Amino acid sequence: MAIKSFKGQIKDNAIDTIVLHTNTGSTGYKITKLEVFPVTPGAANVENVLQIFTIPQTGTTSATPNFSDNTLLGAAYFIDNGSSAVPTTQTISFDNMKFNQDIYLTQRDIANGTPGNGSALNYYIELEQVKLDLNENTVATLKDIRNIASQ
């Protein structure tokens, strides 16, 4: 099916929402690509953690991904120390799970101390759009309800 792409810039300690829900829930998505890029390459010492969740996040965003969390769809870890002598590193991981509701991005720059005072991060996400049959639709919706209720 179709590929939908989303790009943007997320501030430190921020939460962004990518609106995907539909009235029927019969359109599902799964992540096919996740990329991050610094706002000012090589200009500063940054250590960013971007995470994608299936449920809304509140308060100070976490800088420690928990891959046991079934609401975590993906994470990206990016380091740039501002020196060409030390290479930039980037680690990206995402789940192959289908979902049919909005997704929520969080970002922390843990190299710059106080949440909210660090650098922003650019992101690019590609989602494969898939048609869900009634059973897949029901399972995806029930997972979302269960995850929200357990928070």
Measured CA distances, 64 to 50, 72, 85, 107, 116 (Å):
10, 12, 27, 11, 16
Instruction: Give the DSSP H or E segment for 146.
Output: helix 134-150
Predicted confidence at residue 100, as pLDDT, reads 86
Q: Is the dihedral of CA 116, 14, 7, 127 positive or negative?
A: positive
Decide which of 144 and 65 is more confident. Answer: 65
Band the pLDDT of 86: cuts 50, 70, 90. low
Cα 30 to Cα 40: distance, rounded to the nearest angstrom: 30
Nearest to 1 by CA among 97, 124, 132, 143: 132
Predicted confidence at residue 70, as pLDDT, reads 87
Q: What is the secondary structure of 66-122 as a DSSP string?
A: -TT-TTEEEEEEEEE-S-TTS--EEEEEE----B-S-EEEEEEEGGGSSTTSS--EE
The conformation of residue 62, written as its DSSP 8-state character, comes to P
For the chain, how many structural domains are there in total? 1
Show the tokens assigned to 132. 């869900």
State mean pLDDT over 138-142.
Answer: 68
The most confident of the ranges 10-14, 83-87, 95-99, 136-140 is: 10-14
Band the pLDDT of 142: cuts 50, 70, 90. low
State mean pLDDT over 86-98.
Answer: 78
How does the average pLDDT of the chain come out, rounded?
84
| Residue-range definition of the domain harbouring residue 137 | 3-150
Q: Is the dihedral of CA 100, 129, 23, 19 positive or negative?
A: positive
Residue 85 has pLDDT above 60, yes or no: no
- Each residue of 7-65: pLDDT tens digit? 999 999 999 999 998 877 788 899 999 999 888 877 678 889 999 999 998 877 888 88
Cα 34 to Cα 113: distance, rounded to the nearest angstrom: 25
Cα 24 to Cα 37: distance, rounded to the nearest angstrom: 35
